[in-house]
């Protein structure tokens, strides 16, 4: 199949549904090429120990096989696959991810709740004309609910562990509905929302909702003329509540506008929205046709056209943690210069390796904001656990691993995070660059200093003899590094002195 270089694809592996969006841009507006949705009910496959059942995995893999076929016409670098709440929570997510990536032939990016909220907001914001008024965006998914306030960009973000699948399973077992069960579900949702109400209450001029639960409720209210089309009113919600609790089981929810495939998880999602209206004193909510998929496509297009949110995050971290930006840039520049010598030995794609190495160089002194002793460990911890807009969990783990190993004895990566491989040649580049600029000298290194790597476990540094003689401390550090790399990683670092 011929590839369309103008197309972008977002595959959202949600807790309730898997959504595929393939689109292009015309005058900065999204033009949909293809959409596909499978109700996989991934969250319904989690047992009491948080394990994803074999049956749920099989459903998911069958869906992904279809998605893979539809993605063949899209350039690989213009596709992003994102996993959300259930894949964040599943204790055997790594096992499933290995199977899923084999079927797709693509990496899956697990994102944090706040990153999910950011992408939802980005998608919804592009469904409306840019305005200066403050906007509250609500997205009720299968396993989590995202709340965001912002104008053109998000300002306040929260992700709460409540969704249409999880609440339907917890409070309406076997689909049984009663007024008592509904009150219990609403109260539980209000308890979760309560601690986050004040930063959100009365902080918006317009409220917008997205995703399946909210679109389904909007459609129901419009068909019964309880609210205007594309709008959910508080009065309409009350009328719909009476219809819901008058039904004994979700299978019997014969409500105009409610599709059969939504019935099983409808009541849980409805309870969450009802609780949000109460806690946030909402009188109405506009319904958006856009959601996280559109946000992913916009974010991906930005990455490929020099509007990468990750770059903004790196700059913000440099300011927030008082990092010496000039030192970081010097080391980043040298890393970029030395990188081509080892790219043939890396498992990380070249463009991704270049970006990760540059960011790690810029942030390698992050941990100094906590303490000088063991600052590489402090920096690694922050990078592995902080909210970093634009980054997936795997990207943060790779950055954390690089920073953790930029000095002292190298340590193997944790097996807990899926998809983290030890690209030791990449780490060696960062370590060498830090050695060369340990004195923090502003002067650029001579162009005659070069690196060669005939084998993955062999590095050859060519350095002018006179330069080494003028920099005996760096020469001594390089000799120590050669010994450490050989002892710890069985990597040979040779120093060639040139006349």
Mean pLDDT, residues 455-473: 97
Angle at 314 between CA 137 and CA 306, to 5 degrees: 75
Check: CB of residue 6 under 8 Å from CB of residue 27: no
Alpha carbons 387 and 113: distance in angstroms, whole number: 9
Q: What does the pLDDT look like over 229-272, one tens digit per residue?
A: 999 999 999 999 999 999 999 999 999 999 999 999 999 999 99
Show Cβ contacts of residue 337 under 8 Å, excluding neighbours closer than 6 positions: none
Whether 335 has a pLDDT exceeding 80, the answer reads yes
Strands, E assignment, 200-283? 206-210, 231-233
Residue 491, classed as helix, strand or coil, is coil
Alpha carbons 388 and 391: distance in angstroms, whole number: 6
Confidence class for position 149, pLDDT limits 50, 70, 90 = very high
Mean pLDDT, residues 329-348: 97
Mean pLDDT lowest among 164-168, 350-354, 418-422:
418-422
pLDDT of residue 130: 61
pLDDT of residue 304: 87
Q: Decide if 7-110 and 308-444 have a common fold.
A: no
Q: What does the pLDDT look like over 172-206, one tens digit per residue?
A: 999 999 999 999 999 999 999 999 999 998 889 99
Alpha carbons 40 and 261: distance in angstroms, whole number: 11
Residues in the chain: 499
Higher pLDDT, 418 or 453: 453
CATH architecture of 129-287: 2-Layer Sandwich (3.30)
Distance of CA 226 to the CA centre of its chain: 37
Among 206, 366, 379, smallest CA distance to 282 is for: 206
**308-444 maps to CATH 3.20.20.120:** no
Confidence class for position 3, pLDDT limits 50, 70, 90 = low
Whether 154 has a pLDDT exceeding 60, the answer reads yes
pLDDT of residue 60: 98
Domain boundaries, the chain: 7-110, 129-287, 308-444
Whether 1 has a pLDDT exceeding 50, the answer reads no
Whether 398 has a pLDDT exceeding 50, the answer reads yes
Check: CB of residue 210 under 8 Å from CB of residue 120: yes
Confidence class for position 129, pLDDT limits 50, 70, 90 = low
Mean pLDDT, residues 385-403: 96
pLDDT of residue 443: 86
**Distances 379 to 265, 357, 369, 376, 415 between C-alpha atoms, Å:** 42, 15, 9, 5, 19
Among 265, 256, 254, smallest CA distance to 222 is for: 256
CATH architecture of 7-110: 2-Layer Sandwich (3.30)
Mean pLDDT, residues 296-311: 93
Q: What is the mean pLDDT of the chain?
A: 95
Q: What does the pLDDT look like over 355-369, one tens digit per residue?
A: 999 999 999 999 999
């Amino acid at each position: 199949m011929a590839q369309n270089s103008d197309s972008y694809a977002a595959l959202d592996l949600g807790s309730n549904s898997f959504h595929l969006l393939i689109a292009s841009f015309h005058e900065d507006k999204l033009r949909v090429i293809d959409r596909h949705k499978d109700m996989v009910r991934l969250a319904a496959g989690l047992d009491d120990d948080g394990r994803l059942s074999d049956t749920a995995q099989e459903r998911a893999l069958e869906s992904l096989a279809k998605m893979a076929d539809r993605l063949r016409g899209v350039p690989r670098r213009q596709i992003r696959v994102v996993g959300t709440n259930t894949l964040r929570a599943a204790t055997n997510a790594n096992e499933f991810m290995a199977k899923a990536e084999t079927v797709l032939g693509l990496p899956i990016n697990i994102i944090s709740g706040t990153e999910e909220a950011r992408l939802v907001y980005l998608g919804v914001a592009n469904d409306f004309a840019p305005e200066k008024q403050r906007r509250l965006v609500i997205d009720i998914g299968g396993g989590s609910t995202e709340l965001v306030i912002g104008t053109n960009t998000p300002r306040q973000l929260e992700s709460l562990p409540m969704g249409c699948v999880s609440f339907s399973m917890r409070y309406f077992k076997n689909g049984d509905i009663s007024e008592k069960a509904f009150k219990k579900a609403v109260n539980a949702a209000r308890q979760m929302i309560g601690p986050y109400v004040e930063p959100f209450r009365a902080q918006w001029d317009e409220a917008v909702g997205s995703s399946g639960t909210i679109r389904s409720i909007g459609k129901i209210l419009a068909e019964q003329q309880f609210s205007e089309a594309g709008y959910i009113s508080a009065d309409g919600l009350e009328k719909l509540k009476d219809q819901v609790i008058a039904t004994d089981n979700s299978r019997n929810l014969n409500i105009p506008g409610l599709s059969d495939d939504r019935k099983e998880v409808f009541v849980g999602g409805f309870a969450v929205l009802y609780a949000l209206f109460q806690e946030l004193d909402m009188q109405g909510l506009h319904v958006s046709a856009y959601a996280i998929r559109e946000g992913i496509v916009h974010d991906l297009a930005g990455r490929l056209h020099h509007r990468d949110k990750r770059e903004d995050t790196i700059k913000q971290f440099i300011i927030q943690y008082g990092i010496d930006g000039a030192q970081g840039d010097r080391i980043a520049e040298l890393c970029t210069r030395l990188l081509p010598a080892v790219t043939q030995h890396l498992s990380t794609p070249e463009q991704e390796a270049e970006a990760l190495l540059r960011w790690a160089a810029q942030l390698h002194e992050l941990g100094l904001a906590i303490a000088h002793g063991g600052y590489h460990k402090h920096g690694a911890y922050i990078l592995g656990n902080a909210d970093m807009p634009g980054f997936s969990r795997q990207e943060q783990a790779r950055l954390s691993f690089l920073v953790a190993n930029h000095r002292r004895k190298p340590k193997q990566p944790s097996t807990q995070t899926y998809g983290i491989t030890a690209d030791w040649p990449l780490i060696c580049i960062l370590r060498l660059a830090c050695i060369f600029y340990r004195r923090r000298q502003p002067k650029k290194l001579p162009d005659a200093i070069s690196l060669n790597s005939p084998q993955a476990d062999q590095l050859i540094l060519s350095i002018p003899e006179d330069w080494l003689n003028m920099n005996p401390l760096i020469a001594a550090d390089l000799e120590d590094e050669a010994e450490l790399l050989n002892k710890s990683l069985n990597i040979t670092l040779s120093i060639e002195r040139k006349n």
